[in-house]
Amino acid sequence: MSAAPKHPDLCWEDFVPQRVFPLGTVTMGREEIIEFARSWDPQGFHLNPAAASEIGLEDVIASGIHTLCICSRAIVTELLGRTDNLPGPEAERLRWPHPVYPGDRIEISYRPTSRRRTRSRPDRGLVLGVLEAINQNGDVVLEMKLKSFIKLRD
Amino acid sequence: MSAAPKHPDLCWEDFVPQRVFPLGTVTMGREEIIEFARSWDPQGFHLNPAAASEIGLEDVIASGIHTLCICSRAIVTELLGRTDNLPGPEAERLRWPHPVYPGDRIEISYRPTSRRRTRSRPDRGLVLGVLEAINQNGDVVLEMKLKSFIKLRD
């Protein structure tokens, strides 16, 4: 993927509050969970079922940063890549309410919650929204409140 | 790295508010920035200097998730790996106040801000703290407020 599209097919006007944008479903593999943790988050409960069991988990669990990477790729390829957006300066909140186990199938979505024009950048609008991932049992495994600056159509 | 150490050398008692734990310094390479972005955050301004220039940046910038992964590895290998801790359920705030450019040298640290014992887990204590990365010019490039559950010494 290269620059932001010159003629994005999604603009600020399309980010209607409460509209749900489905971003795909990903199955988290055991090898992938362990490999990611080895690179970025080498804690026992991500690497070793025995260590996970010691703190009451059924198996290794994915690093929260891994789940975040998966969700980040989904929102970029399925949504932000279709807009002309600026780098997001912050996330207000990031939660992992339920662990992700090997074999879990997570469904990712994004939902704008509010939006407004900004004085500083009249060609762009601010969108606040929630990036969310839910497992096959309906448990929320990641929730992140994001700020995005998206180009206006007009 | 395997399970949490049976005899951790750092316990909840050591997480004194405002004590600064240095977690090392990392230089962010151009190839590494682009490779990470290609895998997890394929936006133009992370991949392509021309796309970055279009939005007023001097060069490509690292994905915020990449900087987060670097800081996550540092806190795990330098600090949490020396404790017996539980998976952290949330981050209250995550900010990237200043971009990270290729060649930037970032200094990572962690500072507990407050702590308390918990009724639900008498063998562990809650620590609230700030994970921070600062570049060679003193600009904060990442700030994350974290919750950790660390085993008590006694």
Give chain B's contact residues with A (Cβ, < 8 Å).
Answer: 1-4, 39-45, 47-48, 50-51, 54-55, 61, 63-65, 68-69, 72-73, 76-77, 80-81, 85-97, 99
Looking at CATH, the fold of the domain delimited by B12-151 is given as Thiol Ester Dehydrase; Chain A (3.10.129)
Distance CA B47, CA B102 (A): 11
Residue B132 β-bridge partners = B109, B143
- Record the pTM: 0.94
ipTM value: 0.92
Domain ranges of chain B: 12-151
The pLDDT confidence band at residue B3, using thresholds 50, 70 and 90, is: low
- A81-90, A103-112, B46-55, B123-132: which range is least confident on average? A81-90
Q: Using the predicted structure, report yes or no on whether residue B122 has a pLDDT greater than 50.
A: yes
The candidate with the shortest Cα–Cα distance to A15, out of A80, A104, A112, A96, is A112
**Which among B65, B81, B87 is the nearest to A69, CB-wise?**
B65
Q: Rounded mean pLDDT of A103-128?
A: 94
In this complex, do A1 and B63 lie within 8 Å of one another by their Cβ atoms? no
Sort out which chain B residues have CB atoms less than 8 A from A86's CB and list them: 55
A73–B40 CB contact, under 8 Å: yes
pLDDT of B59-102, one tens digit each? Answer: 999 999 999 999 999 999 999 999 998 887 788 889 999 999 99
Q: Which residues of A touch B69 (CB under 8 A)?
A: 39-41, 65, 69
What pLDDT, on a 0 to 100 scale, did the predictor assign at position A59? 97
